[in-house]
Amino acid sequence: MPRKKGAEKEAAVTVPEGGFVDVLAHMSETRKKLYFAIFLVVIVFIIGAYAYEKVEGWNLVTAVYFMSSTMTTVGYGDVTPQTETGRILTIFFMWIGVSLGLYLLYTISEFREKEVDDHLKRLMGRLDTQRKKIRL
């Protein structure tokens, strides 16, 4: 059965139990940041591939290949933009790709650090419980 969020307001939003909003509400901030970073990388990748398809006239595989080599800073050089607009796009996606890549790496490390900290806290709690049992 759906529940009302903000029931005290007249224009309440109806959200189904277990819906997307509930999932977000129970998600840690670091996990939200991680998913957001992944989302940004995927969106920029899709937009870039689409832009190169239209501007350079490349097929989807070539556009995806070029975006992969550009965003990962590999840059094989076997596929290059031939138009001025394509070159400007490449400059833009180089900077955005590196920035988003670094942001993604940062959020992954932050997420992993939080997981390790939480695990250590649980472990210390168990050890403390065992220590108290031994003293009794």
pLDDT tens for 59-99 read: 999 999 999 999 988 889 999 999 999 999 999 999 999 99
State the pTM of this model. Answer: 0.72
CA 66 to mean position of chain CA atoms: 21
Confidence of residue 7 (pLDDT cuts 50, 70, 90): very low
Q: For the chain, which residues make up each domain, given as ranges?
A: 29-135
Q: Which helix (H) or strand (E) holds 89?
A: helix 84-135
Specify the pLDDT at position 2: 52
pLDDT above 50 for 120:
yes
Q: Count Cβ atoms below 10 Å from residue 101 Cβ, excluding itself.
A: 15
Q: What is the mean pLDDT of residues 6-31?
A: 67
pLDDT at 135: 81
Neighbour count for residue 105 (Cβ, 10 Å): 11
29-135 CATH, one of 1.10.3720.10, 1.10.287.70, 3.30.70.1230, 3.40.50.2300: 1.10.287.70
Mean pLDDT computed over every residue of the chain: 87
pLDDT at 75: 86
> Which position has the token pair 């097929």?
59
Distance CA 55, CA 50 (A): 9
Kindly state the percentage of the chain with pLDDT values over 90: 67
| Residue in 108, 111, 113, 109 with CA at minimum distance from that of residue 27 | 111
Q: In this model, does residue 1 exceed pLDDT 90?
A: no
